[in-house]
Structure 1
Amino acid sequence: MPGRLPAVLLGLLLVAALVLGLDPYDRGDWLLENALVVIVLGVVLAGHRRRPLSGSAYVALFAFLLLHEVGAHYTYSQVPWAQWWQALTGVAPAPGRNHFDRLVHFAYGLLLAPAVADWTAARTPLRGLALRVVVVALLTTGSALYEMIEWVAAEVFAGDLGVAYLGTQGDVWDSQKDMVLALAGSLLWALLPKALSRA
Structure 2
Amino acid sequence: ANPDFFFAGWNYGMKVGGEVTPSALETYGIKTFVLSESCVFTASQKQKASMDLLYNDELTLGKIFGKQPEARTLVDGWKKTLNALPKPPQGVQPLKVFVYDSGEDKPFTSGRYAMPTAIIEAAGGKNVMDDLEMSWGTTSWESVATAEPDFIILLDYQTGSGADSLRRFLENHPLMKQTPAVKQQRYLKLQYAELTPGPANINAAEKLAHAMYPAAHQ
Higher helix content, 1 or 2? 1
Larger Rg: 2
* Same topology, TM > 0.5: no
TM-score normalised by the chain length of structure 2: 0.25
Higher strand content, 1 or 2? 2
TM-score normalised by the chain length of structure 1: 0.27
Select the structure with the greater relative contact order (CA < 8 A; seq sep ≥ 6): 1
